[in-house]
Structure 1
């Protein structure tokens, strides 16, 4: 029985994705199929190379190509948008990579670190209703949608071709990434207390005083001692634009 058009297209797609495991559809020259594969794979590889330049440089040509080939052959993306391909690549790495070449343990975290910059750069998020002059202790502090606290086991901001650690350090890498009004994405290191406060603001709609009281319990510091320091930190974050003010 002749194959349907759908079956032919699926066989062709499978072969273009992974010619080693999937036979080509009958009646199409191998030369033409090779052109299709080169075109499609080349586009994907080029997009990923532009989004993850540090990973590409750190892995080298052989391992980078093997990684992209594994992604291209095995992963099923949930979006057709090229602008979201980086997020699909991060999800692929977080699932665990099965590649013929050994991959570093920090790979998924470094991919997330590189991906975040592009996400914030392209974000069209708008500010929720808020009071920019609101009381940050009694009101509910509002974190900007363009400011993300991040925590990594690996020192992702230092990893590159010349530094590739084999063991994660004892202390995590705590970062704040934000997009400024000039549309530049900036990364800055955070002290543990500042990161804990930002993560709490991100997770809970509590009054500022409640955030600080919970933190004082977590670090076993008297709340009367922590509150003035915490309020100063909240005000500093508002001055930087990390906090928009309080929820309306």
Structure 2
């Protein structure tokens, strides 16, 4: 290893964790202080836009401490700035913070909007007039059903629960034609429907499976309640008829 490479590695380790790693010899303390401030401020600029709720909830000191811990402990797997937000969310998924036990899920929830906006997928054909019973429903790659232990859509500076509720929070993220992402709450039945909508069965088969899983009779009353839900999902482009799709996406 060359002397220059040794010098740069020592500088990098110092900037990541100045308390554990001394700076390379010969560098002025004032210059090092500027570098240390710049690297945290740049990280703050890159991440605040994706995680504004976490930023406000933790406050200045808590947010800065979290950024410094991320800088100290995380090793990036990509040089792409847009991917840094996902790495931050992945890091927080395994972050142990008893004071904020919901932090990992809140980070994923905040990242998901950017993730869906950046998703590269074929835009599926809109099939609003699909026969809800005969067509094979397929969840659009631009629609992500998500399940969380914590009510992530409510957490903020004024609401920080310390105990997870008995029932999960079920949400749908759907990217609209103009690129914006819309969030909506899901019932357990609707969440299960979207999870099963893989284009391999007809709408009637799907509803029959839903009724069976819920311990309900697949009768006229069940169909009368479920059919409007299917039609609405097709109308909004959350579901598409399987034959009309040319690509697929993944739920994060």
> Which sits farther off after the overlay, 116-125 or 127-136?
127-136
Offset at residue 208 of structure 1 (A): 2.5
1:66 aligns with 2:62: no
Q: How many residues align?
A: 243
> Which sits farther off after the overlay, 149-158 or 176-185?
176-185
CA deviations on 1:109-131 (whole Å, 9 max, x unpaired) are 11111111122233342225786
CA deviations on 1:135-156 (whole Å, 9 max, x unpaired) are 4433321222211111111111
Q: Cα distance 1:137–1:246, how it changes in 2: closer, same or farther (>3 A)?
A: farther
Q: Is the 8 A contact 2:149 2:167 kept in 1?
A: yes
1:115 aligns with 2:111: yes
- Whole-angstrom CA distance in 1 between matches of 2:103 and 2:164: 12
Which residue of structure 1 aligns with residue 29 of structure 2? Answer: 30
- Whole-angstrom CA distance in 2 between matches of 1:122 and 1:157: 21
Q: Pick the aligned partner of 2:219 from 220, 224, 231.
A: 224
> Which sits farther off after the overlay, 227-236 or 72-81?
227-236
- Whole-angstrom CA distance in 2 between matches of 1:121 and 1:131: 22
Q: What RMSD over aligned residues (CA atoms) do the two structures have, in Å?
A: 2.2
- Whole-angstrom CA distance in 2 between matches of 1:127 and 1:137: 24
Q: TM-score, normalised by structure 1?
A: 0.88
- Whole-angstrom CA distance in 2 between matches of 1:136 and 1:37: 59
Q: Cα distance 1:6–1:138, how it changes in 2: closer, same or farther (>3 A)?
A: farther
Summarize the alignment of residues 58-207 of structure 1 with structure 2, pairs less than 5 Å apart.
58-97=57-96, 103-128=99-124, 133-201=129-197, 205-207=200-202
Which residue of structure 2 aligns with residue 209 of structure 1? Answer: 204
Which residue of structure 2 aligns with residue 247 of structure 1? Answer: 243
The 3-state SS of whatever aligns with 1:197 is helix
Q: Is the 8 A contact 1:147 1:177 kept in 2?
A: yes
- Whole-angstrom CA distance in 1 between matches of 2:83 and 2:36: 21
Unaligned runs of 5+ in 1: none
The 3-state SS of whatever aligns with 1:247 is helix
Offset at residue 132 of structure 1 (A): 6.1
Unaligned runs of 5+ in 2: 245-252
Q: Is the 8 A contact 2:170 2:185 kept in 1?
A: yes
